[in-house]
Amino acid sequence: MHNGIEAAQVKGTGLSGYVQRSKATVQTSNLSKFRSIDDDEGSPAETINPLLQKRTEEENLAMARRLEVHKAIRSVRLKVLLYGRERLEKNIDPDTVERECEEYYTSLMKVTKEELTKEQRSIESKTAERFAEAFGVKTKEYSPFDLAKKEDERRRHEEELIRQREQQLAEKTKRLKEE
């Protein structure tokens, strides 16, 4: 204090000297009164992520989906890497190995994407069924809530068109060969 002038300490600004504990993570050991008898006392205390608690179920599902996709892509890359190393150990030309690895990667990614889309479609169809039940909509062969059915119908229609075109081409080539 000099000539009656000093810094004004406002409560709650952090200048008062009071130190608060961080509440960013909550340890489950503090919640011992809520533990069941079956819980192991010797296990280390787990932490609860408050951000995970605040996210909606939809956000958690989306994050789990992204994690699942990431793990699938990582496993594909690992398989391709191991395949490439195995081929290089057999003293095969590096250019050939690189080309084979690219082909192997594209084939594995195609299969993985198909598997992931099947899983996603099954999840979407379950969600569509829940919405239909909630709104009292009777599910028919075509449901406005089910995007997976629309996609399957469109894909079947495209495959049918491709088959028809192939048959027409086969008939034309057959006629040309006969002439």
pLDDT at 13 (0 to 100): 58
Q: Give dist(CA 148, CA 122) in Å, integer.
A: 8
Domain locations along the chain: 50-135, 140-178
State mean pLDDT over 113-121: 91
6: Cα separation from own chain's centroid: 58
The token pair that represents 82 in the structure block = 């191991």
Query: Strand pairing partners for 48?
Result: 26
For residues 141 and 134, the answer to whether their CB atoms sit within 8 Å is no
Cα-only R_g, the chain: 31
pLDDT tens-digit profile of 34-92? Answer: 555 555 555 555 666 666 667 777 888 889 999 999 999 999 999 999 999 999 999 99
pTM greater than 0.95 (yes/no) = no
For residue 142, give the 3-state DSSP assignment. Answer: coil
